[in-house]
Amino acid sequence: MNTAANASVQELLAAVGALDAAAAADAWDEALALEAYCRSLLEALLDLPPDVPMDLAQAEALEQVAAVYRRVVGMAEACRGAVAAELKSLRHGKQAAHAYGTEGGA
């Protein structure tokens, strides 16, 4: 792998690590921005001429990226489930308050 490609792989891995950390910290706005950045780095890395094969380091980096993406998607789905449960709870509370005539309360 040439020096530029190595730098691109290292930059992608660093960005994916930051994405993983942001998702683990529930910093979803940051994670969203990092995901867009990772995607642009990934597209640039994969923009190889058809006659240039991917080397082992690039393939291993892509495997690492895929593993982090799977983990981040799992965290996002868990967060989405928690938000949905909270919204459902709030909706039930609102319905109960309305049923007891305390709609204008808290």
Handedness of CA 36, 26, 17, 55 (dihedral sign): negative
Half-sphere exposure of 87 (CA within 13 A, CB side): 6
Q: For residue 103, is pLDDT > 70?
A: no
Q: What separation in angstroms does the CA of 83 have from each of 20, 56, 87?
A: 20, 40, 6
Half-sphere exposure of 98 (CA within 13 A, CB side): 6
Percent of the chain with pLDDT strictly greater than 90: 48
Q: For residue 98, is pLDDT > 90?
A: no
pLDDT band at 90 (very low <50, low <70, confident <90, very high): confident
